[in-house]
Amino acid sequence: MSNKSNQFKGIVFLVIAALGFAFMSLFIKLVKLSGDPIPTGQMVLFRNLVSVVVAIILIRVKKSSYFGKKENINWLLFRSALGTAGMLLFFYSLSNLNLSDANMLNKLSTFFLIIFSALFLKEKVKPYQIIAIIVAFIGSLFIIKPVFNIEILPYVTSVLAAMFAGAAYTVLRVLGKKEEYYTIVLFFSTFSVVVLLPYVLIFSNAPMTVLQTVYLILAGASATVGQFGTTLAYKYAPAREISIFNYTNVVFAALLGIMFLGEIPDPISLIGYLVIFGAAFYIFKKK
């Protein structure tokens, strides 16, 4: 199979993944709009229950390991804890921001990955990467438009979600090819369910309408498409060749927000989108 063919498949899977995550964002937003507020932990719990079911089916088909190799357990636990924290923060942001704003700020995870790889994996940060990181964070200020009141909280949690996602991706760099992708997904999703279930049952078990339940199941299914699509994309082509197409997620999120929610990004936010995308494209071209 030619490199061009593999690259094309990688791009297709990455665009499908971006669309999956955009639909996940839409369904989480619709949960809030279709009934009484649902606690963030409860939404994350439902989202991961769907991933657990899909991952178990894949592992049974592949006859692979359910919980990974013994020597990788600590790394899997660390990655799962970071991913769960990031998801809680991101879902809170999704419930309180425009879809496009929340998704674009989440793309700062790319730049946090560079920072954490330098700090903990001792990878050398090149001058052009430092420039791109500074530019990206300046771009985020156009989206956040800092104000010193409670309205800034969802923006802060969105940036923190990107930070935790970047840290989780750094741990995945350590795991490398030591574990199968569906094993990592199952471990992460199961960890989230085990951690969140007691809290949800005891402290935040809010009644849900039928429509909210349907939206949460659809959010879980969409996120699962996103997870597996991303993994398959990087199986066919390296990140340096296709990663820029991950930013189609913001385009999809903006279009879904306009069509279903009437959300139109303001001009200042659009400038921020372009600045962050420009920083990412700069890195992409350099690499």
The string of pLDDT tens digits covering residues 92-117 is 999 999 999 999 999 999 899 899 98
Residue with tokens 């659009």: 270
Q: Which residues contact 258 (CB under 8 A, 6 or more apart)?
A: 264
Lowest mean pLDDT segment, chosen from 15-29, 75-89, 233-247, 259-273? 233-247
Distance CA 4, CA 11 (A): 11
Lowest mean pLDDT among 56-60, 160-164, 228-232: 228-232
108's tokens? 């700062």
CB 258 within 8 A of CB 90: no
Q: Are 200 and 39 spatial neighbours (Cβ–Cβ below 8 Å)?
A: yes
Q: What count of Cα atoms within 13 Å lies in the side-chain half-sphere of residue 261? A: 26
Residue 69 has a pLDDT of 87
pLDDT class of 2 with cuts at 50, 70, 90: low
Report pLDDT for 159: 96
| Amino acid residing at 156 | V
The encoded tokens of residue 268 equal: 């200042």
Q: Which residues contact 140 (CB under 8 A, 6 or more apart)?
A: 105, 108, 159, 272, 276
Nearest residue to 108 via CA among 134, 78, 87? 134
| Predicted pLDDT at 271 | 96
Task: Write out the two tokens for 178.
Answer: 């030591």
Residues ≥6 apart with Cβ < 8 Å to 247: 18, 107, 277, 280
pTM of the model: 0.91
Distance in angstroms (rounded) separating the CA atoms of residues 100 and 276: 13
Q: Is the pLDDT of residue 24 over 90?
A: yes
- Tokens representing 98 are 């425009």
Q: Residue 64 CB: number of other CB atoms within 10 A? A: 14
